[in-house]
Amino acid sequence: MTNGHLAALLRAAAARLREAGVEEPRREARLLLALATGSPAAALHATDTLAPATAERFRHLVRRRVAREPMAYLRGRAGFWDLELTVGPGVLVPRPETETLVEAALAAFPDPTAGLTILDLGTGSGCLALTLLRLYPNARAVAVDVAAAAIACCADNAARLGLGGRVELVRGDWVDTPLDRFDLIVSNPPYVADRELEALQPEVRDHEPHLALLGGPDGLDAYRALLPVAARRLASAGRIILELGAGQADAVTGLLDAHGLVRDALRPDLAGTPRALSARRAAAASTLHPIAC
Ligand code: GLN
């Protein structure tokens, strides 16, 4: 195998990525090359050559990306809010729309010194729980996930961010949540309707954990399962903040009543899709003025 000039390697990689349907093949080829060499993309010169081991690393990364593995898995990292989180296969890649839940939490609890107790149901990488612990330095969190890969990933992120002392990790179903009362319960549950799986991007459909994506025939199964648990664990003036799939706001709002909950805010993501539903106890709602939706 010859050491290719970078320009030729990049051209060949970009062509393969384009053929595989990757949207920005030239940019991604450069990113993969930067990953293979360990240097920033801007520092790469088109005339440089690669050592054989580096060239092989590059080809391996290109093969994985041609198979449409998410870039975040290749990097082993994903950005969320102001954090760089470790992610990998078996763990949902944090998405920008999930940051809408953080905004909703900040709106509901404006005092950053509050000693909140936080519950994150289906924590995945820990993106919500750990971001909230950073924003509320006096808060403590319980993060629950059924997937061993997620618990390991969240533990790794918590330790790296120096937050391990304030988060308790629980591997199990929603019902395994400790019997405490929480001021803030957040969840980005699986909400994609089973029949919509095929239409998802290959990165999501073929590589991300279906356990974190699929919510049954109408996408609402996880809400049905977690709301009874969340309602019982919610402190009297607490908030439940749930991520929604597009078009699910009315259906999920409709599920609240049976658990003594009422919607108090609905926040759109940056694309304008209603994304973060905030709910509280119906009894508390009558003594507080309602927040416009
Ligand atoms: N927003 C994700 C997607 O559409 C789904 C994540 C989830 O189900 N919570 O790929």
The answer to whether residue 1 scores a pLDDT higher than 50 is no
H or E element that contains 170? strand 167-171
pLDDT, position 50:
84
Q: How far is ligand 1, taken at its centre, from the CA of residue 188, in Å?
A: 8
Mean pLDDT of 145-149: 97
Chain segment 213-227, per-residue pLDDT in tens: 999 999 999 999 999
Question: Which among 108, 142, 104, 137 has a CA at the least distance from the CA of 126?
Answer: 142
The answer to whether residue 2 scores a pLDDT higher than 50 is no
Residue 190 near ligand 1, beta carbon < 6 Å: yes
Q: How far is ligand 1, taken at its centre, from the CA of residue 192, in Å?
A: 6
Q: How far is ligand 1, taken at its centre, from the CA of residue 93, in Å?
A: 9
pLDDT, position 129:
98
71-80, 229-238, 281-290: range with lowest mean pLDDT: 281-290
| Average pLDDT across the chain, whole number | 93
Task: Let me know: does 177 contact 144? Beta carbons within 8 Å.
Answer: yes
30-44, 204-218, 228-242, 251-265: range with lowest mean pLDDT: 30-44
Residue 126 near ligand 1, beta carbon < 6 Å: no
Pairing of strands 182-187, 234-243: parallel
Measured CA to CA, the distance from residue 227 to residue 159 in angstroms comes to: 30
| Atom number in ligand 1 closest to CA 214 | 8
Task: Let me know: does 141 contact 119? Beta carbons within 8 Å.
Answer: yes
Residue whose CA is at the smallest distance from ligand 1 atom 10 = 204
- Tell me how crowded residue 47 is: count the other CB atoms within 10 A of its CB: 7
C-alpha 91: how far from chain center? 9
| Atom number in ligand 1 closest to CA 95 | 1
Confidence grade of residue 3 (pLDDT, cut at 50, 70, 90): very low
Q: How far is ligand 1, taken at its centre, from the CA of residue 46, in Å?
A: 38
Residue 242 near ligand 1, beta carbon < 6 Å: no
3-class SS at 90? coil
Residue ranges per structural domain of the chain: 6-67, 78-285
Which is the CATH superfamily of the domain at 78-285? Vaccinia Virus protein VP39 (3.40.50.150)
Measured CA to CA, the distance from residue 281 to residue 263 in angstroms comes to: 9
Confidence grade of residue 45 (pLDDT, cut at 50, 70, 90): low
DSSP assignment string, 103-128: HHHHHH---TT---EEEEES-TTTHH
Q: How far is ligand 1, taken at its centre, from the CA of residue 12, in Å?
A: 33
Measured CA to CA, the distance from residue 226 to residue 187 in angstroms comes to: 9
pLDDT, position 39:
79
| Atom number in ligand 1 closest to CA 122 | 9
Mean pLDDT of 169-178: 91
| Atom number in ligand 1 closest to CA 189 | 9
HSE at residue 196, side-chain half, CA atoms within 13 A, is: 16
Q: Look up the pTM and report it.
A: 0.92
Residue 192 near ligand 1, beta carbon < 6 Å: yes
Radius of gyration, CA atoms only, the chain: 21
pLDDT, position 142:
97
- CA distance readout (Å), 213 to 56, 146, 155, 219: 33, 13, 21, 9
pLDDT, position 29:
96
Chain segment 263-279, per-residue pLDDT in tens: 999 999 999 999 999 99
| Atom number in ligand 1 closest to CA 92 | 6
Q: How far is ligand 1, taken at its centre, from the CA of residue 199, in Å?
A: 12
